[in-house]
Amino acid sequence: MTSEKQEERVRSEIYELREVFKAISEFLKDIREPLEHLMNTFLGSMDGGKLAKDLAAFYKALVESGMDEQTAKQWTERYFNERLKLMPNLSELLSRFFMGRREPGLRELVEEREREE
């Protein structure tokens, strides 16, 4: 390969790399707000203070409606366990979030470039 062709190839690769970094930068800007919302939702569901208040209110409502304390306690424990089961799994949330926004990844772009050469 001649020196000019090598320089042209290097320039081309530099340009492509800049475009990749530009795309990554834009992608990160695009996902920042939804990702922050997702994290706030996840962390909010794990807030012990809110959960404790919710459980106390649930128990109180059962007792005030005439349920005996032992049964109210059992129902509150069940309610607590169900709430724990419903808490989102962060890795599952992130994978679903990114699968819904699936765009060609870096691997796909590199493979496409290799096929073009």
Query: CA 4 to CA 89: how far, in whole Å?
Result: 54
Q: What is the pTM of this model?
A: 0.44
Rounded to 5°, the CA angle 53-59-60 comes to 85
pLDDT in the model for residue 70: 96
Going 6 to 7 to 13 to 17, the CA torsion angle's sign is positive
Residue ranges of the domains in the chain?
1-46+90-117, 47-86
Rounded to 5°, the CA angle 85-90-92 comes to 85
Residue range 40-47: mean pLDDT, rounded:
69
pLDDT more than 90, % of the chain: 28
Record the tokens describing residue 51, joined without a space. 């959960």
